[in-house]
Structure 1
């Protein structure tokens, strides 16, 4: 299977660099949690915030809950991502967990909650972003990151996510004080923005043209996996002439797309080009339910 880029080709990172970056991203996130947020009882929201809350309540180590609560997401998303991505995801989670356990007994890096919220939120967001960027993921699935970068979670999930985060912050505020809840909100917002900054160019929409002798099979599997419209431009001919399939994908989805196409037809050709036209990019939105 050949993959060609009509625009500037994205950088290909060596396996060693990816391993170091995924692990290092988890460690940076652990620094933000253990040296800044946890000592001041600040909860960044999400699964990480829930892990921190339960760690405070049980007086057990944060790393244990980070691993236990994130592991199910990796296992549930295994069918939607390639084995290689799943392994990098697990490595990122192990880096986050190991870093949290190693830093548990270190004193707080700062004594005031406001700078702790700022530094902790930035470290957490940048660390997770680095881990995602180089192939691992410590806070959800690849598909969730694509949706985050393109405007947020699905509409059906917005209210449960908001209620979940509000419940964590309210409960944390009732336990540790409302000043801590305010600083927790600051940490959460900074972590969110730092994550978006780390991944800002991974959401760039790319036009993908696939030439294969099995275009209909590829179209069907890509449409199921990417959850968006995939166009059959030209069917395969009666004498074995290859057909053409068109779709849009982000750089974060590139490996998943290539794996699906490769599984259908090893001799297919993939041509990737930047999609800058707004009318074309509109196809990148997820299909409406039903």
Structure 2
């Protein structure tokens, strides 16, 4: 690591420890683990923000290179913003922020403040890109506009989600409503977009609404390809010598339930005796980046197996309420 950056991390670690133990000297043994945690956080944050920046510029290209010049719309919060821009002539960048703001407030309560802050930053950057960055108009062919406009918009949404944020808040609303109603997230998103496309057919034309549906399908399939779907859960198996620290982190910091298996090593003489506990937990795709960051802080060499979980029934798959931690 860069010596200058390493010195900054050491100073930050020392200051944090000095605040916790004002009357005791801070030793190097105490600083090293905290510096390592800062290094992990910095590396993961850098990777996530790179994903977000790529996503924002891709979505901006889909909007300004395809949809906006040809008066096309999309589903979700972006589609609502495009419709409002057509009706009111308010700048699209401002509308993107205003329309997504209620969804981000919901996100802060259902997913977490860090996710909400990153989403605000991503949406604000998208508004800036839409307003100030000039993209070339690629084509005037309506079919190509619908398909590739949706593709680049979906790529932007998917990459932003890989970075732990959203640039279209209707996914957050769908997650929130699915927990309140007996509907899947896919059903909620479908209902929201039916309303948007119906309004689009009335305000613009039926032909425009039909092309908008094609744009939405292209975007949705691209998002599925990038992040394997918003509504899917991920089953995570973790094998580590520091299994107890990982269990405490999952249950107390992430507020997720987990199952512990008694494991034995299967290689060489290790297979003859008890080896270590194996942790299994289920998180949403949006929480996966945070879980990986926290695991790296505890054990960078942990063996992690991740798989998409299609169906769930029973058990506790939602976050535990804060009061249960006491």
TM-score by length of 1: 0.68
Structure-2 residue corresponding to 1:27: 57
Q: CA deviation at 1:172?
A: 1.0
Q: Using the alignment, how far apart are the partners of 2:63 and 2:197 within structure 1?
A: 16
User: Are 2:55 and 2:158, in contact at CA under 8 Å, matched by a contact in 1?
Assistant: yes
**How far apart are residue 201 of structure 1 and its match?**
10
Contact persistence 1:142–1:252 (CA under 8 A): no
Q: Does 1:92 align with 2:92?
A: no
Residue 243 of structure 2: aligned partner:
211
Query: What are the within-5 Å matches in structure 2 for residues 46-85 of structure 1?
Result: 46-81=76-111, 84-85=114-115
Give CA deviations for 1:228-272 in whole Å, capped at 9, x if unaligned: x533568xxxxxxx998542346752343468899xxx9799945
Task: Check whether the contact 1:206–1:251 (CA below 8 A) recurs between aligned residues.
Answer: no
Kept in 2: contact 1:211–1:268 (CA 8 A): no
Superimposed CA distance per residue, residues 70-92 of structure 1 (whole angstroms, 9 cap, x where no aligned partner): 12322322245455544432322
Larger Rg belongs to? 2
Is 1:191 paired with 2:219? Answer: yes
Give the structure, 1 or 2, with the largest relative contact order (CA under 8 Å, sep 6 or more).
Answer: 1
1:248 and 2:282 aligned = yes
The 1:208/1:163 distance shift into structure 2, 3 A limit, reads same
What secondary structure does 1:193 align onto? helix
Structure 1 residue 230 and structure 2 residue 258: aligned?
Answer: yes
The answer on 1:115 being equivalent to 2:144 is yes
What CA distance in whole angstroms lies between the structure 1 residues aligned with 2:172 and 2:60?
Answer: 23
Task: Summarize deviations over 1:150-198 as a string: whole Å, max 9, x none.
Answer: xxx9725554432321121122112222111111111000001111112
RMSD: 4.4
The answer to whether the Cα contact below 8 Å between 1:219 and 1:232 also exists between their aligned partners in 2 is no
Q: How many residues align?
A: 257
Q: Which has the larger displacement, 36-45 or 85-94?
A: 85-94
- Give the one of 155, 158, 175 matched to 1:129: 158
In the other structure, the counterpart of 2:10 is none
TM-score, normalised to structure 2, is 0.62
Say whether residues 1:174 and 2:211 are aligned partners.
Answer: no
Partner SS, residue 281 of structure 2: strand
In the aligned structure 1, how far is the partner of 2:171 from the partner of 2:258? Answer: 19
Structure 2 CA distance for partners of 1:195 and 1:136, relative to 1, 3 Å: same
| Runs of 4+ with deviation above 6 angstroms | 141-147, 258-262, 266-270
Which shifted more, 88-97 or 124-133? 88-97
- Is the partner of 1:212 in helix, strand or coil? helix
Distance (Å, rounded) in 1 between the aligned partners of 2:122 and 2:284: 21
Q: Is the 8 A contact 1:128 1:138 kept in 2?
A: yes
Q: Which residue of 1 aligns with 2:273?
A: none
Ranges in structure 2 where 5+ consecutive residues have no aligned partner: 1-32, 35-41, 263-275, 319-326
CA distance in 2, matches of 1:272, 1:143: 31
Q: Deviations over 1:81-119 (max 9, x none)?
A: 455544432322122111111258x77432222211112
Q: 1:195 and 1:158 mapped to 2: Cα distance? A: 13
Alpha-carbon distance between aligned partners in 2 of 1:183 and 1:117, rounded to the nearest angstrom = 6
Once residues 274 and 16 of structure 1 are traced to their aligned partners in structure 2, the CA distance between those partners, rounded to angstroms, is 23
Change in CA separation of 1:273 and 1:16 when aligned onto 2, cut-off 3 Å: closer
Partner Cα separation in structure 1 for residue 170 and residue 303 of structure 2: 24
Residues 219/253 of structure 1: CA separation in 2 closer, same or farther (3 Å cut): closer
More helix by share: 2
